[in-house]
Structure 1
Amino acid sequence: MTANTLASLLLARAEDDRPGLMFEDATWSWREHIAACRAAGAWLSGRAARPHVGVISENVPELVFLVGAAALGGPVVVALNPTRSVEELIRDARATDVGLLLADDPHAGLAGPVAAALGLEVLPLSAVSPGLLEPAGPAGTVEPGDLVMLIFTSGTSGRPRAVRVTQRKIAVPGESLAAFLTPEDVVYCSMPLFHSGALMAAYAPAVASGAALALRRRFSASGLLPDIRRYGCTYAHYVGKALSYVLATPERSDDARNPLKIAFGNEGSAVATRRFSERFGCLVIDAFGSTETAISLTPDPAGPPGSLGRLPDGVRILDPFTGRPCPPGLIEHGRLLNPDEAVGELVNTAGLGLFDGYYNDLEADAERIRQGAFWSGDLAYADADGHVFFAGRGTERLRVDGENLAVAPIEAALREFAGVVEAAVYPVPDAAAGDQVMAALVLEGAFDPDAFLAFLTSRRDLGAKSLPRYIRLSRRLPLTPSHKVIKRVLARERWRGADPVWWRTAAGLRLLTDADVKGIEEEFVRHGRQHLLET
């Protein structure tokens, strides 16, 4: 079997009788796991009119077996996001040439209308359960560039796009992360397998190392520690705000008494990763990556707090308008003094990394690939020593009173305020010109406006223009299933959402009233910018 393929990693486990998959009260050995993958692939190959099988499901063993089946030569799996509407799923399935639809029981009602609209057969996902299918023979030959899955981007800053997930795209990160594991380890997977993070940073390293994979249907903040102890998990994968929500659960004196050694993921805040490590007694490795996997950064333990690591060969920070390299950031007391020139886009100038393109989406390909380089859409800056800091998505840049601001440093500062579980910063329009800074906070307790204002005033890393004009207090933020904040929802609601909003004025902070909103929006009319309130 060709190297750098998921198939070769799976077949290396085919005679392994150690535990390979744990789910609720059931356990499969790796031998049983691979046999189930082969049987599912053989059965599906005779049913799909087109080569792609769509799956609407939580994290269940059958989904794992289908991924293995696709790797071993079966139909390509299209991981459909069950949080999307019927209309959106119809578009997604049509765009990815789905010929057969499978759904677990909780999503059967969602799958029915999708299948009916596209004239597809829909079957319960349990149809590929082990024991219901005939054994199948060895897989055929596969190549590193062969398609295994289609996975949609999270859609935090725009429409989700179907990324081509090839054999090598899963195998390479799996083999890299397997360096942290042995066959005696257990990998905890609660992030959704219909996103790439769980696939490449939980499933793939388990396969590559021979460690067991402990699967949970969906993430639960209160369920994480009991699961870690129940299954003996030594490695856990997370994405986005998951760590913050775990930290918001009641603390116990014995939290650090658990087998967890490593928590690996991305987009955890510096505050959350530090607190999680201290509370649960494990190493937290927060890396930078994306569904496209064209750029990855390795954290530097000796680097400054919040740094993503150093730029690897070929990856540069470029001005998205001129294409020129951005100069180093001038940082004083944690504050970036020259964001206009230092903040740019992360670009892989050496090639596309593991990115094999979007599926049938030339417009999306053209947006990311320019003259052989991959433009990530992610903003960053580097200090004089080459340490890189995330500055936000390309759609998250603010311009306040003529000055460009990056949201990530503001969010990092707000998370330091006592009681903040999570913070999101985003632009809302200013009545006269440019933007104003708005922040949405999730708090453990009551909000003290005087303490918060004093906190803002004390922050030497926040300039006057970085201070939020509006503060929204939310019980929870709108999240993708992979726990990334959907800021476009917050930005669209502005100060008109259901949550209370505090307004920072020259006299201090006060709750925004209906009369205040009326006055603010009349200002937009006076400046001829009322159209900005209609988007």
Structure 2
Amino acid sequence: MIAETVGLLEDDVAYVSLPLFHSNPLMCGYVPTLIRGSTMALASRFSVRRFLPDVRMYGATYFPYSGKPLSHLLTAPEKPNDADNPLRVAYGNEGSWRTIERFERRFGCRVIDGFGPSEGAMGFPRAPSDPPGSVGRPPAHIKVLDENGRECPVAKFDQDGKILNADECVGEIVNTEGVGRFEGYYNNPEAEARRVRDGMYWSGDLGYMDERGFLYFAGRTEDWIRVDGENFPPHPIEDLVERHPTVFACAAYAVPDESASDRVMIAVQTQPGRSIDPGDLFSFLASQPDLSPKWLPTYVVITSELPRGVTGKVLVRELRREKFFSRRGEVFWRERGESGFKPFAPDDEKRLRAAFEASGRARLLDL
């Protein structure tokens, strides 16, 4: 299927740079080249510095990726001859539409970004004409269901593009026809039971549909944020923050409120060699017309590097565990009603801990 999607032929060369234990280099790199009799150039590891020299040296025409490689490659200093390379197509997932547009324009190749879990239980690519931000129009058996298995209503937007019904339109992305190629998790029946229920594959991914049937990724089921009784996913917040020209990547996640529910915290990785003023960041976010007031972060940590796994995915669980006590960068915050971020000082930390103690929620600080 992937060989057909990218038009892989015998004389193509695939440049594979991610570790082979991951499904992307195996199913999008190794297997298609095996089927077509193509050549695979296997890098020892992904490297921004080596990418273009390797592509040119091996005559690579196809680049499978997963996660952030496209974004990382765009951080390299741009040169007038970047598009002078044999690369014809890149195929992967989790590339934002802005990143895809910039990569195609700079390196002169087509990028096909698909959606699907590593388990192979479902998958479909985007089309160039699909609306920005969507992961494509899925087949009819891929649906967004609530926790009771009912199909969620389509998303409603105001004139600025703000979601009006996140509480009811966001649900789990489910293959209602079955489990696809998924054969189960080795020696882990509990995890398998979470994914396969009633003969359907529950992906663990949150999403919502628009009225035209386009699907939008909204985060993971464990990533829900609840502020003042309203539930919402993190991905729309991350997308808003990443509009800022100095931001390379953002992770949004829930941290506990001292009295009830959650507060929004974001970890912001700046572009290499750049810095960002927290006051400017606040003004930028407040000016975005599609930012819901409850999405506005309470806490911000600004860092030069987000924690990532070997495939480049951000390890949000580490950020959630660190909370507002993070030492990986400077932390800023705002109290309710304040129109700006200020440094999270030692005295602020003491007062916050005391507030958690007073409300009986201190145990949440250790989770």
Report the TM range for the smaller structure's normalisation. over 0.9
Aligned twin of 1:247: 74
Residue 300 of structure 2: aligned partner:
471
Post-superposition CA distance 1:376-426 (Å, at most 9, x none): 111000001110000001111101111111111111111110111111111
Q: How far off is 1:176 after superposition?
A: 4.1
Task: Report the Cα distance in structure 1 between the residues aligned to 2:252 and 2:45, rounded to whole angstroms.
Answer: 27
**Which of 117, 129, 132 is residue 290 of structure 1 equivalent to?**
117
1:455 aligns with 284
Structure-2 separation of matches of 1:507 and 1:357: 49
Q: Deviation string for 1:491-526 (max 9, x for gaps)? A: 100121211111134051111111111112221112
Q: Distance in 1 between matches of 2:103 and 2:161?
A: 22
CA contact (8 A) 1:271 1:415 kept: no
2:329 is equivalent to residue 503 of structure 1 = no
Answering whether residue 353 of structure 2 is matched by residue 527 of structure 1, we say: no
SS of equivalent to 1:473: strand
Counterparts in 2 of 1:255-274, with a 5 A limit?
A: 255-274=82-101
Q: Which residue of 1 aligns with 2:18?
A: 191
Stretches of structure 1 lacking an aligned partner (at least 5 in a row): 1-172
Which residue type is aligned with residue 211 of structure 2? A
Note if contact 1:270-1:412 (Cα within 8 Å) is conserved in structure 2: no
- Give the superposition deviation at 1:289: 1.4
Matched letter for residue 344 of structure 2? L
Q: Which of 231, 240, 254 is the equivalent residue of 1:404? A: 231
> 8 Å contact 1:174–1:208 — kept in the other structure?
no
Match of 2:310 among 472, 481, 491: 481
With the length of structure 1 as denominator, give the TM-score of the two structures.
Answer: 0.66
AA aligned to 2:349 is V
The code of the aligned residue for 1:487 comes to: V
1:442 CA displacement: 1.0
Q: Write the mapping of 1:107-146 to structure 2, written as runs, cut at 5 A.
A: none
Aligned length: 361
Structure 2 SS opposite 1:494: helix
The equivalent residue for 1:138 is none
1:494 and 2:323 correspond:
yes
CA–CA separation in structure 2 for the residues paired with 1:431 and 1:311: 41
Partners of 1:183 and 1:210 within 8 A in 2: yes
Distance 1:507 1:338, change over 3 A: closer
C-alpha contact (below 8 Å) 1:240/1:267 kept by paired residues: yes
1:326 to 120, 144, 152: 152
8 Å CA contact 2:112–2:125 kept in 1: the answer is no
| Whole-angstrom distance in 2 between the partners of 1:453 and 1:529 | 28
Compute the displacement of 1:174 (Å). 5.0
Q: Which runs of 5+ in 2 are unaligned?
A: none
Is the contact between residue 502 and residue 510 of structure 1 (CA under 8 Å) also seen in structure 2? yes
- Offset from partner CA, 1:61-97 (integer Å, 9 cap, x none): xxxxxxxxxxxxxxxxxxxxxxxxxxxxxxxxxxxxx
CA offsets 1:40-60 (integer angstroms, 9 cap, x no match): xxxxxxxxxxxxxxxxxxxxx
- Report SS of the residue matched to 1:347: strand
Q: State the alpha-carbon separation in 2 of the partners of residues 365 and 314 from structure 1.
A: 20
CA shift, 1:353, in A, is: 0.6
Q: Establish whether residue 516 from structure 1 lines up as the match of residue 345 from structure 2.
A: no
Q: Does 1:446 align with 2:278?
A: no
How many percent of aligned residue pairs carry the same amino acid?
Answer: 44
Q: What is the CA distance between 1:349 and its match in structure 2?
A: 1.1
Q: Is the 1:414–1:423 Cα contact (8 Å) retained in structure 2?
A: yes
Supply the AA of the counterpart residue of 1:310.
Answer: R
Rg larger in structure: 1
Match of 2:197 in 1: 370
Letter in 2 for 1:410: I
Deviation at 1:290, TM superposition (A): 1.4
Alpha-carbon distance in structure 2 between the residues aligned to 1:400 and 1:204: 45
Do 1:432 and 1:524's aligned partners in 2 also have CA atoms closer than 8 Å? yes
Structure 1: distance between partners of 2:264 and 2:22: 30
Q: 1:410 to 1:195 in 2, by over 3 A?
A: same
For 1:280, the aligned partner's letter is F
RMSD, aligned CA: 1.4
Taking structure 2 as the reference length, what is the TM-score of the superposition?
A: 0.95
| Alpha-carbon offset, residue 220 of structure 1 | 1.0
Cross-structure match for 1:384? 211
Partners of 1:174 and 1:204 within 8 A in 2: no
Instruction: For 1:399, give the aligned amino acid.
Output: R
